[in-house]
Structure 1
Amino acid sequence: MSRKFEEVTVTHLSNGEKVSLGIHTIKGSKPGPTLGISAAIHGDEIIGSEIIRRIYESINDEELSGTLLLLPVANPLAFEALSRNTPLDMNNLNRLFPGNENGWVSEQLAKSIVVNFLDQVDFYIDLHAGGAVPIVDYVYIQNAEEMSRAFDFPLLYRPADVYEGTTATYTTEKGIPSVTVEIGGGPNFREHIDRGIKGIINCLKYLKMIPGDTVISSKQTVLSEIQIIRPKQGGMLVPEYSFDHVGKKIEGKQVLANIYNPKTFELLETIETPFEQNIVVLMRGLVGKVNAGDYGYMLGNLETAER
């Protein structure tokens, strides 16, 4: 059979229920590399799971050269809670790779992902999102710039420093060409799902795993500087810009949002753009509650960007 689903048991909850990873394998009719695609390592970033499901449904096994390994829910415990961190130990799974089979439950998950998934791939794509509220839109350049560009996103990011303990840190250290994608989140708009699917299809063409030419239709900007803005005050966040400003330019010092005390109506904080030439990478576009330290906004500096 060209398709297989395997449920890998990692551990058990105290009530006896299994904690497991579901891995889909699609084996093409022709030889080729193995591409791994994962999503929901952060459990509040669920859009990637839907993107993977639609890729699974759209792939023609007879036209596929090589193998697809699909891990749509990398952290099932965090997914259930719609939480960035694993509820049982409150660890960030994507800072714990390569994991530890004798460690926290998050470390056990990481180790199982390494053994049963990451160690089996020749190329790797990891799908992330803005979370349960914000929306984001960019692709990291790590150790596979052409593959990152093949996602055909208008914004890319070449970080000066990398996060330790991520899936992509592990795979890049092993010499596996890797791409981390940040797409959508919040309302999980259909347009972001479609763009994620289109990007993966374009990457499959780039890898010669399916027929067709890679198409780069977007004018691409490579950022080297992104500032993360976390609110210092909790309260009701009232944004000045809607979600359609993701990927748009904002000139000069502008107000992004105000945070009010919902009980007293006191203005607690005003969030402003950090650069003279800003581009919106991640944002909150709806009125809603926010806690101190939450992801609020990410702004790129266009003055230091590669065009």
Structure 2
Amino acid sequence: MEFKLGNLICEMGKKISGFWNIDGYEIPTTIINGKNRGKTVAISSGIHNCEYTGIQTAIEIAQELNPENINGVVIIFHPVNYSGFFNKVPAIIPEDNKNLNRAFPGNLDGSISEKIAYSFSKILYPQIDFFIDLHGGDLYEEATSFVYFPGIGKKEIVDFSEKVAQVLSTNYRVRSSATTGAYNSAAIQGVPSLLIERGGNGIWNKNDVINYKKDIFSILSYLEILINFKYKENLTQIEIKQANYISSYLEGYWYPRFRVGDTFEENVILGEVKDCFGKTLITYISEYSGVVLYQVSSLAIRKGEEILAYGKI
């Protein structure tokens, strides 16, 4: 049975690579349609275009998967924000200066970010059984290795998403309370989904990509799509039910006290924002014992910018 995604058509037992055209905006896409029937999974990367670890992972997965080693269909986007990738502009699509991940579920008559989100919502999601969104720290931020699963949606969708998250090698899984974003939007529409974080600071390395690929292959194995790969449940993975997202309410210079992945106790200094003369403007104190999930690594901080996220453990 052929799989169709807009202008792209892939026959059963075939693999194609091309550009999904959304109102003139082209997204590099690989579709692998297995020789045998099975579930359909979409893997997106580069919704945030400078999160390179996920993008490189998607490229390598697209090269390594073939119709002979999968059951069902795997669709891979590498990357979604293609124009932003070459412009090296963090987070936004240059054509409309919008954060695509904040545009879901989208608008057919909106700007290009909203049209892309709409196409995901109305064309892609109705055809798939699972959605995997590959992220990482952006150009000036770093993330520890963890996975988000949706907390909003039908119970069976949330529960299944969390179950799949537990085959990843990440130390932490975080229950999301957000309704925005590609993967949360998918879950609200009834598609189990995950968002995985790994790496950052505008670089990627071979080991991170290897670990990322193993996690993706574990998911595909759990879903009985990938042949000859055995997943293993991560019994030491810790669920984070509560997370704190800190934004700076003023412009300044950022001095974190911890690295991503570090743990800390309640009521300790997480970081400070200072002025250009070195005077401390604000100090951030931990509300509970936790772990740094991701944080800005640049010295410069804009007013309103999210600078740190930590989870309660």
TM (normalized to structure 1)?
A: 0.84
2:131 aligns with 124
Residue 68 of structure 1: CA displacement? 0.9
Match for 2:179 among 159, 163, 169? 163
Counterpart position of 1:29: 35
Structure 1 residue identity aligned to 2:195: T
Which residue is equivalent to 2:240?
Answer: 223
CA distance in 1, matches of 2:88, 2:211: 26
Give the deviation of 1:86 after TM superposition.
Answer: 2.7
Partner of 1:250: 264
The amino acid across from 2:106 in the alignment is G
Return closer, same or farther for 1:288/1:193 CA change in 2, 3 Å cut-off.
Answer: farther
1:135 aligns with 2:164: no
- Confirm whether residue 299 of structure 1 aligns to residue 306 of structure 2: no
Specify the alignment match of 1:86 in structure 2: 93
Q: Work out the percentage of aligned pairs sharing the same amino acid.
A: 23
Structure 2 residue corresponding to 1:282, chosen from 291, 294, 299: 294
**Please, which runs of 5 or more residues in structure 2 have no aligned partner?**
1-12, 151-157
Q: Give the equivalent residue in structure 1 for 2:8.
A: none
Between the aligned partners of 2:263 and 2:248, the Cα distance in structure 1 is 21
Structure 1: how far apart are the matches of 2:248 and 2:107? 34
Q: Quick one: distance in 2 between partners of 1:227 and 1:170? A: 21
**Structure 1 position 37, deviation (Å):** 0.2
4+ aligned runs moved over 6 Å, structure 1:
none
1:222 CA displacement: 0.8
Partner of 1:16: none
TM-superposed deviation, 1:217:
4.1
Question: After the TM superposition, which residues 235-246 of structure 1 pair with which residues of structure 2 at under 5 Å, given as runs?
Answer: 235-242=252-259, 246=260
Q: Unpaired segments of 5 or more residues in structure 1? A: 13-18, 303-307
Partners of 1:32 and 1:66 within 8 A in 2: yes
Letter in 2 for 1:140: Y
**Partner amino acid for 2:23?**
T
Aligned to 1:305: none
Query: Hey, what's the Cα distance between the residues in 2 that align with 1:192 and 1:253?
Result: 32
Q: Which residue of 2 aligns with 1:15?
A: none
Distance 2:16 2:66 in 1: 15
* Mapped partners of 2:26, 2:47: distance in 1: 13
What do residues 159-201 of structure 1 show as CA deviations (whole Å, max 9, x unaligned)?
3x3223x322332233222112222222434243232211101
Match of 2:104 among 97, 101, 116: 97
